[in-house]
Structure 1
C-alpha cells in the first residue's frame, strides 16, 4: 500500500509540474488562446483551446453575438425555428460589409452563431492565407451545400440527429477566387497540385476551429464536400478531424 501511495504521489506531482510547465509555456508564447480560462477573441490567431471555446458558444448565444460584433462581422439574427426534434434559436445570416469579405453561393446562408464565428476565423486565418500561398489570389466566395436540414446522420430513419438539424453544421463544396478560378472538393481533392494542396490546407486549418471536420479522406459520403460542425461534446469531449 505504501508503494501505491508513493506512486500516486509521484503521479500527482508530475501532473502538477506538467500543468505549471504548460502555463509558463503558454504565457511565454504570448497566446492567451492556448489557455482554457482566457476569454475567446475572434481576432486572435487560433490556439490550443480556440476550437473548444468556439464550440462552447453553443450554450451562450449572447456571448457569441458579442464576439461577432467585436470582430466587426456583420450579420442578422434569424427568427427561432422549431420543426419537431429539429430547429435552432441561435441562427444568424451574414450580411455584406464589415471585416468579413467572402460571400457564400448560394447567397443567404444561415447557420448557428458558433458556426458563423468559426467560419469567420477560418476565412481570416486559414482560407485567405492558403489562397495567397497557393494561387497569389484571394477567395471571393465559397460554394456550399447548406446548413440547416432536419435529418438524422446520413439521412437514416433512426439514430443520432445530425448537427445539420440544429444548423450547427455547414457543408463546403468549393471556392471561387478573385481571378475567376474555381476549386471544388469533388474535382480537386486528389493529387498534389496547388488546388489539392489548398483544399488540404483549409481542411487542416478547420480542424483547429470546428468540433468536427470531415473530408473525402473520411468516407465516400464526403467525396464532394467538407463537413464542418460545432457538435458540443463538452470541454473534454472528443473532436474529429479526418
Structure 2
C-alpha cells in the first residue's frame, strides 16, 4: 500500500510540475518579454517602418521641373529650359552659345574708280554699277552701264569700264553735240551703239583680246538728231556734203580723246560704224584711221 501511495504521490507531483511549467511557458508570457536589445530585422536605434497606405494618384503633387532637359535625339546636347535663351541655328554650335561666325569682308572700290564715278556725275551721265564681269580672259572689275549722257540717250545701254564711259561722255558733250549744232542746227537725241563689252579677240589676230573684252571700246552705228535727222555712219554719197563734213569732224576730233578711232574706209570690219577705244600703247601712239 505504501508503494502504491508513493507512486501516486510521485505522479501527482509530476503532473503538478508539468502543469506549472506549461502555465509558465505560455505564448503570452514569452511574447511579453522585453530584452535590452531587439533581435531581428529591426535593430535598436532605427525607427520602425511606417506602414504603407494607398494614396490616390491625383493627390500626389507633381515633381519640380528639371531646369535642364536632355534632348531625346542626342543625349550629349543640352537644351536650356529657359525660353529666353536662344538655341544656335547650327546644332553643331549648341555647346558654344556665344560663338559668332565672322562675316566675310566686303571688297572696297578702289579710289580711282570712286573718282571716276564722281567725274561721270559731273558730266551728267546716267549710269549704274553692275556686278563684276569675269569670263575666261575677258572681264571688267568695276563695270558701269550707261543709259544717257546728259540729254543724249544711249541705245542700247552700254556696259563699259568707268574710264571708257568717262572718255566717251566727255567727247560726246564737247565734240559730238557742238558739231551737230554747227552742221544741222540741232542737238543730238540718241547715239545708237552696236557693241560695248563683248568677250572676243581682234579678228584676224592670233588670240589678241579686243578692247571690247575689257569694256574699253564702243562702236557707234548711227546718230539721231532732235530734228529727226538720222545720220548713218556708213560712208555717205558723193553729194552728201553736210553729212560727210559732220562725220569727218567727229571722227577727227575723236583722235584727241581716244587712242584708237577706226571707221568706214579702214577695212571691211569697220565699214558700218566708228570704233572708239582707249587701248594703252607705247610712246602714246594713237591709231586714227
- Relative contact order higher in (CA < 8 Å, ≥ 6 apart): 1
Which shifted more, 59-68 or 221-230? 59-68
- 1:70 is aligned to 2:118: no
Q: Work out the CA distance in 2 between the residues paired with 1:183 and 1:125.
A: 19
Q: CA deviation at 1:110?
A: 1.3
Give the one of 194, 200, 215 matched to 2:248: 200
- Any conservation in 2 of the 1:189–1:199 contact (CA below 8 Å)? no
TM-score by length of structure 2 reads 0.57
TM-score by length of structure 1 reads 0.68
1:131–1:228 Cα change, 3 Å: same
- 1:102 is aligned to 2:102: no
Give the one of 221, 238, 241 matched to 2:285: 238
Larger radius of gyration: 2
* Corresponding position of 1:225: 273
Q: CA deviation at 1:146?
A: 1.5
Q: Work out the CA distance in 2 between the residues paired with 1:198 and 1:161.
A: 31
Deviating beyond 2 angstroms after TM superposition, the runs of 4 or more aligned structure 1 residues are 59-63, 69-74, 156-159, 187-192
- 1:144 is aligned to 2:193: yes
Q: Work out the CA distance in 2 between the residues paired with 1:232 and 1:182.
A: 33
1:109–1:102 Cα change, 3 Å: same
Secondary structure of 1:218's aligned partner: coil
- Any conservation in 2 of the 1:150–1:165 contact (CA below 8 Å)? yes
* Corresponding position of 2:133: 81
1:190–1:165 Cα change, 3 Å: farther
Q: Summarize deviations over 1:160-213 as a string: whole Å, max 9, x none.
A: 110011111010011001111110112537655111111111111111111111
* Corresponding position of 1:116: 165
Q: CA deviation at 1:93?
A: 1.5
Secondary structure of 1:232's aligned partner: coil
Q: CA deviation at 1:70?
A: 3.3
Count of paired positions:
179
Q: CA deviation at 1:60?
A: 3.4
Q: Please tell me the root mean square deviation across aligned C-alpha atoms, in Å.
A: 2.1
* Corresponding position of 1:160: 208
